[in-house]
Amino acid sequence: MKIIAFEEHFSLRELANIRRDYMNRIQLPIREKAGGMSNIGRLLSDFEEIRLPEMDRYGITRQVLATGSPGIQGLTDPCEAVWLAAYANDFLGEQIRRHPDRFSGLAALPLQDPPAAARELERSVLELGLSGAMVHGHTNGLYLDHPSVWCVWERAAALNVPIYIHPTDPIPGQWKIYEGYPELLSAAWNWGIETGTHALRVIFSGLFDEFPTAKLIVGHMGELIPYALWRLEHQYKQLIHGDSLLEMPTGKRMIKQLPSRYIRNNLYITTSGNLSAPALRCAIESIGADRILFAADYPFEKNAPAVDFIRTVAIAEQDREKIAWRNAEKLLKII
């Protein structure tokens, strides 16, 4: 069985510097382990000596590569963001040219300047052969539902490529609820909550009414959205029918369909970093196997257990193939 891993990461020295400066700026309420990124950094920067042999060892046909968090979103200067996004995308495009049967890529976008980000997305797809974009959460507090960013979504829809929202840390001021509880930080909890909320903002903004063919991806088995879908929609129906204790603000743009319609038609999720059989079965029942993509989240998570999971989890064989590679081939336009 072919396996396409859809959320796999790489980095450059220049991007590592962004992470260091960003972590100092956002006032993370806990320190990262000294030297904790050293081995990860070695794996992120490697393409041929370690990455490809490991893909062969575990039967991974193709990795879809993107920068790690915070990536370009961690910069404050728009000019620097535009330059470095192009530099990272050129580098990724070269790796894909060297190994076109093993690597695909998602572009970095300088959303500090949304029109420039739209142009960079088009260049990355049409000239470099990339297959969409990955955005690491907010860009200095700007989220992807903001009207200034819709030009990027318009370009993505025209190009028929997805935008992947990857987690990052919240803006300063949103840390209070996690203060004193490192167990809730990062991939354990807050990343999923923040990213799921970000995706739902995009859905409730009406963006998919404006661009019906736009495609959004989130990882980690859907950042809790499949599990919460029934209650989310139930409460939404009460709100719009006047049965809620809350009141819809005057002038709020309303979506034309129920949220589940967009989730099942415009949203994809990946299995990255969440090897839970109950969670996968919930996602299949909630949004459908056609909307799920395999991912390992390498090198932050290991390839071996991720591959073993998709090969052995108790689901229908037809669904297994869809998740392992068929859905990804359609999304990547691999013939």
- The size of the chain, in residues, is 335
pLDDT by residue for the chain (335 residues), tens only, comes to: 999 999 999 999 888 778 777 766 766 666 666 555 668 889 999 999 999 999 999 999 999 999 998 999 999 999 999 999 999 999 999 999 999 999 999 999 999 999 999 999 999 999 999 999 999 999 999 999 999 999 999 999 999 999 999 999 887 777 788 888 989 988 999 899 999 999 999 999 999 999 999 999 999 999 999 999 999 999 999 998 888 888 888 888 899 999 999 999 999 999 999 999 999 999 999 999 999 999 999 999 999 999 999 999 999 999 999 999 999 999 999 86
Return the bridge partners of 136, or none.
166
Q: Residue 143 — φ and ψ, nearest 5°? A: -105, 165
Q: Tally Cβ neighbours within 10 Å of residue 107.
A: 29
Virtual torsion, Cα 69, 72, 74, 79, nearest 10 deg: 170
CA-CA distances (angstroms) from residue 43 to 7, 9, 47, 163?
15, 9, 8, 24
CATH, domain range 4-332? 3.20.20.140
Q: How far apart (Å, rounded) are the C-alpha atoms in residues 121 and 118?
A: 5
Kindly state the DSSP code that residue 313 receives in the 8-state scheme: S
Peptide bond into 299 cis (omega under 30): yes
Kindly state the DSSP code that residue 186 receives in the 8-state scheme: G
Q: How far apart (Å, rounded) are the C-alpha atoms in residues 293 and 330?
A: 11
pTM for the structure as a whole:
0.95
Query: Catalytic residue numbers?
Result: 297
Q: How far apart (Å, rounded) are the C-alpha atoms in residues 222 and 144?
A: 17
Q: Reading across the β-sheet that carries 133-136, which strands appear in turn?
A: 133-136, 162-166, 215-218, 267-270, 292-293
